[in-house]
A and B are shown apart, each in its own frame.
Chain A
Amino acid sequence: MLEIIKNTNIDFMRLKKYTFAFSGSVILFGLYAIFQIYTSGANLGIDLAGGTALQVRFEQQVHMEQVRQVLTDGGFPEASLQSVPRENIFIIKVSGKREEEKMVGQKVVGLLEQGLPSNPHIVESIAEIGPAIGKKLRTDAIFALAISALAIIIYLAWRFEFKFGVAAALATFHDVIMLVSIFFLLGREMDLLFITALLTIGGYSLTDTVVVFDRIRENIRLRKRGTFSETINLSVNEVLSRTVITSITTFMACIALLVFGGVVLKDFSLALALGIIIGTYSSVFVASPIVAMWRGEKMVQVRR
């Protein structure tokens, strides 16, 4: 048998000092990031904040400076530009703060036609979202996240005892906040697809956590000796192979998507790929230590 991870004996629980510190600071930063996003609308894609986004493909190479000049001259100095250089594709975004501007998309197209007449372009996509809709989508997104959280807690409370459930839920929140922090730091945009990635990772991270908890429960049933921490360590080591390899396989799929999936899904696949790594980390270093700390060291039987 080919085994990447064989008979490990890592003392995960002792590392909890460091991992808690790390995770704790990330969460604090994450809460700050969320506050920033909420108040200033930074990093929000147009489907959450309203605005106009165009994807334009030029026939010949264009420098970003040229495009920026054309847009600034035309009255859109604050437009954000992103390019996919090898393919002469530019993504132009104008935020929705300008109330009730109609046909911004067409205006920008007109500017490009006039400003760069020698370099014909195709408009690959235009999305214009009014502020009212942006608000509605934002509310829906938050609602979806809240309901997911509730559903997860209820499911876990049913499958395990309450403390395990809450620990797993906390681990999942940790994952979501960590992902938001990273995207905030990278200055990448968060749109509806990002929210989708958050929800998906939430569900997926849970499966890792459940695998570990299942094993913890089994080991408690089998062995009556030793402290709770020791049992957790043993359990995590036993399922480490499983946890890492399932993450590897899903990660491979996400990497394929990230590298080959095209520019529209780029941020989405990045979020998924990062989320898988974070999810694995949290199942091992966040969920289990929380249970240990909360439950105390006695080896009491786990209900159900």
Chain B
Amino acid sequence: MWKSIWGRTTLIAVLTVASIVLVLPSLTDILPAAWQEKSPKISLGLDLQGGVFLRLAVEIDKAIENTTMRYADDARAILRGKGIPVLAMAKDGIEGFSLTLPPGEFADRALRVLKEEVGTIDYTLGSVTSSTATIKGGVTANEVQAIRTNSVSQAVETIRNRIDQFGVREPQIVAEGENRIVVQLPGVKDQQRAIELIGKTALLEFKLVDEGASVEEALKGSLPAGDQLLYIKNVEPQTGRITKTPIVVKRRAVLTGDSIKTARVNFQSQRGGAYVGLSFDNRGARIFDRVTAENVKRRLAIVLDDTVYSAPVIQERISGGEAQISGSFTPEEASDLAIVLRAGSLPAPVKIIQNVSIGPSLGRDSIEQGIRAAIIGATLVVGFMLVYYRLAGVIADGALVFNILFLLAGMSALRATLTLPGIAGIILAIGMAVDSNVLIFERIREELRSKKTVRASIDAGYDKAFWTVVDSHVTTLITAIILFQFGTGPIKGFAVTLSMGVAINLFTALVCTRVVFDYLNAKRPMQTLSI
């Protein structure tokens, strides 16, 4: 008997020391650095730390559509270069387009030329009438698939880039399923800014203004071929009122954000506003040089996500590859714009389908309330056990302390995330932990009532209650595991603390309490039992 008692006690002592070592780093800061750093810690969930959780859906269809139109533009440019005129261009679903040519041998020549140049499009001859011939182009299935997979991974990278520049401590950006991205920003303070930063497509385009087009006609719906109607956004600095001025531009951009090498925020001393300075890469600088040289005195519209920020007049040829975007920005707006320009535009628009933002104050309150509820709950339970089961109650309460300690240690070891429902799970586990003791003690009382000796009653109690205790734990574990599988973040936290608390309880209720009874009885055989 003594050997088994010492054996079990040693095991418990070792586990206790290990647990204390594991738990301390999560609770205090006063430890030597090496211990603090390398030890795994419990991390706080977003609902306790504050932060942002976003689920985004990448509009892949839009990406495919955009790419298709780009191919269509390229095709038209190629044909124009070979002297084949294109009368009209139209969309044909999301994966195709059609080019209308004048009748005659143009169509055949065009098909030959296009088939040579471009491998990712299937070209076929469409309808031929006396006045027109149509060529249909469709993006190949392989290319469509490539766009699908690349859009999401590219979006993830771009978002990661933007967030890194924004400065969030431990962000998590993960692709989910076929077209979703989950972003978690723990502890981020400026939540609305961060969300806008992530959601912005940030497609920057430079488009020439079509000075010859009539804005009134465009507003009524008739646009010259190859043109587009956009709006200049003007924010009045005093009132903050936003006005929109229509403007007609050429649809094909001469330069896009892809050609930007870097962007920075500068301040203009006279008007006091902030503006964003851009530097183009070599190819971009060359194109910019050519465009400005060919279009002096025309306006060049700077378009971001289909909104015109400004359309300054090109005064002279600009060969230095530098440009600037001004538009009554606040310093934060300019900074955010610079971030998205540096990180690059998203390959397709993203839609925010789920957004949970928790402010830091709520997080702190939740922790406080959770801990308070835990202490009060534990006190109630401990008190009850003492009053109802006396000495046995004391033993059960001691086991409860070990239960909580081992639970926290287990969570540290697994680097588990503590959430608010997780704290509820701990409190529930406390309530359920003493249930095992109750089952055993009630059984012992029953045995004592039937006049067995103390020794026999204790043994019979533990033995007979064993399967009942196991059953009660298994049933709770089954549902906890299912919850873990299907639950979202905070609920997973609940499942983790509840299942760990309950599983550890098997050990503390059956082994830890029993060893104390055995010890007391071995030291001096008890005639009566305070239970």
Contacts and interface: CB of A to CB of B under 8 A. Distances in A.
Contacts of B467: 214
B430 A193 contact: no
A174 interface: no
A177 B483 CA distance: 19
A203 B428 contact: no
Interface string B448-460: 0000000000000
Contact of B531 (A1, A207, A211, A255): A1
Interface residues of A, number: 69
B421 A265 contact: yes
B387 A2 contact: yes
Given A203-B476, A241-B442, A265-B421, A141 B486 contact: yes
A196 B491 contact: yes
* A-B pairs with lowest CB-CB distance, top 3: A253-B431, A256-B377, A203-B479
Contact of A268 (B352, B421, B471, B474): B421
A125 B445 CA distance: 51
A1 B443 CA distance: 13
A39 B322 CA distance: 60
Interface in A42-65: 47, 55, 57
Given A196-B494, A257-B427, A152 B388 contact: no
B129 interface: no
B249 interface: no
Interface stretch (A15-23, A72-80, A143-151, A178-186): A143-151
A185 B377 CA distance: 28
B55 A133 contact: yes
Contact of A199 (B420, B431, B483): B483
7 contacts: A1-B531, A106-B192, A124-B362, A200-B498, A252-B380, A260-B373, A261-B427
B357 A125 contact: yes
Given A253-B381, A264-B366, 4 more contacts: A200-B479, A203-B480, A207-B475, A249-B431
A238 B449 CA distance: 13
Interface in B373-395: 373-374, 376-378, 380-381, 384-385, 387-390
B34 interface: no
A150 to B, nearest CB: 10
Contacts of A254: 377, 427-428, 431
Contacts of A204: 432, 475-476
A124 B435 contact: no
A168 B531 CA distance: 31
A30 interface: no
B435 A246 contact: yes
B380 A253 contact: yes
Nearest to A252: B380
Contacts of A2: 387-390
B483 A214 contact: no
B245 interface: no
B434 interface: yes
A50 to B, nearest CB: 9
Contact of A252 (B356, B431, B488): B431
Contacts, number: 205
A250 B362 contact: no
A155 B432 contact: no
Nearest to B355: A128
A128 B352 contact: yes
B370 interface: yes
B101 interface: no
A218 to B, nearest CB: 8
Interface in A124-167: 124-130, 132-133, 137, 140-141, 143-144, 147-148, 151-152, 155, 159
Given A249-B434, A268-B424, A256 B359 contact: no
A84 to B, nearest CB: 11
Contact of B428 (A125, A206, A253): A253
A141 B424 CA distance: 20
B415 interface: no
A257 B377 contact: yes
Contacts of A133: 55, 353-354
Contacts of A129: 353-356
A257 B438 CA distance: 21
Contacts of A47: 488
B243 interface: no
A140 B484 CA distance: 12
A143 B486 CA distance: 8
Interface string A225-263: 000000000000010011001101111111111011110
B475 A252 contact: no
A272 interface: yes
Nearest to A2: B388
A112 interface: no
Given A129-B354, A193-B421, A262 B478 contact: no
A122 interface: yes
Best-surrounded residue of A127, A200, A203, A254 (most CB of chain B within 10 A): A203
A125 B482 contact: no
